[in-house]
Amino acid sequence: MKTNKLKTNDLILQFTAKIVFFIIFFFSIHIFFAGHYTPGGGFVGGLLTSSAIVLLVIAFDLKTVRKILPINYMYMTATGLIIAVATAAYPIFDGKPFFTHYFDYFDLPLFGKTSLHTAALFDLGVFLVVVGVTMTIIQTIGEDE
Amino acid sequence: MTVLANILVVLFISVGVIFIAVAAIGLFRLPDLYTRAHAASKSATLGVMSVLIGVFLHFWLIEDHFNPRILLGILFIFMTGPVGGHIMSRSSYIAGVKPWSGTVRDDLKPEIERMKKEQNVQD
């Protein structure tokens, strides 16, 4: 079979991508949780996570990445929207206005005194929506031959 | 102590800026893509790392704020800068960018020919 595409051995790129993926992913988790007091949050964290996955797609293959992370990103977007709406709608049943947030201080075993806020749940929804939408766009564009 | 810290910070940041300036001059002066990639990926990586070390030391020693993100950035640039240069020069070689006319040795050419023959690729 005659082709005009040379298949090369991208060992260096693939090995680096494997390591750098984890650096970017954990940094995105950090950005996500740091969003309340420092710059960052769900949107930037989601974009960083999807860029880490895109790095894997560039280094390997769309099929390989789908085998590594068998996620339907449409469902991921839907889950994120449901989480965000549920967080926003919960105060209605408590007799408070829509989008009221709650927070309290808890004594967690490893972290000590920590303030947990329901805004983090809303941010989780944003995070899932951003990752889902970005990955859906990239998969759809990347697939069409 | 503050004077010593300031000297260290200024030293690191000026070394970094000089390296980045050398990289920029190299991009202008060098004859072809491969020598330019050599200048850009090596010198700019070291320059940015040096500037980041200076910033880290400034915030640590003078403002008393330990920022691990800068250390992570240094590690990240150290790992990804050279790989980026490698990928760019390799893909441009495969795409057919000719090296400078004064090049005396080309080890990649027979290898690419062999791979093309093995995979039945036509130009």
Q: What is the pLDDT of residues A68-104, one digit of tens each?
A: 999 999 999 999 999 999 999 988 988 888 888 888 8
Number of Cβ atoms within 10 Å of the Cβ of B53: 20
Q: What CA–CA distance (Å, rounded) separates B71 from B112?
A: 39
Q: How confident is the model at residue A144 (pLDDT cuts 50, 70, 90)?
A: low
Q: How far apart are CA A41 and CA A30, in angstroms?
A: 9
Q: Quick one: pLDDT at residue A3?
A: 61
A46, amino acid identity: G
Cβ–Cβ of B79/A3 closer than 8 Å? no
Whether the per-residue pLDDT at A40 is higher than 80: the answer is yes
Q: What is the pLDDT of residue A110?
A: 83
A141 touches chain B (CB under 8 A): no
Q: Which residues contact B115 (CB under 8 A, 6 or more apart)?
A: A6, A7, A8, B121
Mean pLDDT estimate for chain A:
89
Tokens of B81: 């800068």
**pLDDT tens over chain B, length 123 residues:** 889 999 999 999 999 999 999 999 999 999 999 999 999 999 999 999 999 999 999 999 998 999 999 999 999 999 999 999 999 999 999 888 888 888 888 888 888 888 888 887 766
> How many CA atoms lie within 13 Å of A33's alpha carbon, on the beta-carbon side?
8
B120 inside 8 A of chain A by CB: yes
The per-residue pLDDT for range B49-84, each reduced to its tens digit, is 999 999 999 999 998 999 999 999 999 999 999 999
Q: How far is B55 from chain A (nearest CA, A)?
A: 19
pLDDT at A2 over 60: no
The SS3 call for residue A112 is: strand
Q: Which of B69, B83, B119 lies at the smallest CB-CB distance from A13? A: B83
- A–B CB contacts, 8 A cutoff, strictly below: 43
Instruction: Look up residue A93 and give its DSSP letter.
Output: G
pLDDT band (50, 70, 90) for residue A135: very high
CB atoms near residue B46 (< 10 Å): 19
| Residue A1 pLDDT greater than 60, yes or no | no
pLDDT value for B17: 97
DSSP reduced 3-state for B31: coil
A8 and B115 within 8 Å at the Cβ level: the answer is yes
Tokens of B95: 């795409």
- Using CA atoms, how far residue B71 sits from A30, B2, B8, in Å, is 15, 22, 17
Site of tokens 């036509």: B122
Examine the predicted complex and report whether its ipTM is higher than 0.95: no
Cα Rg of chain B, angstroms: 20
pLDDT attached to residue A49: 95
Any CB–CB contact under 8 A between A11 and chain B? no
What is the distance between the alpha carbons of residues B80 and B53, in angstroms, rounded to a whole number?
17
Q: Does any CB of chain A come closer than 8 Å to the CB of residue B123?
A: yes
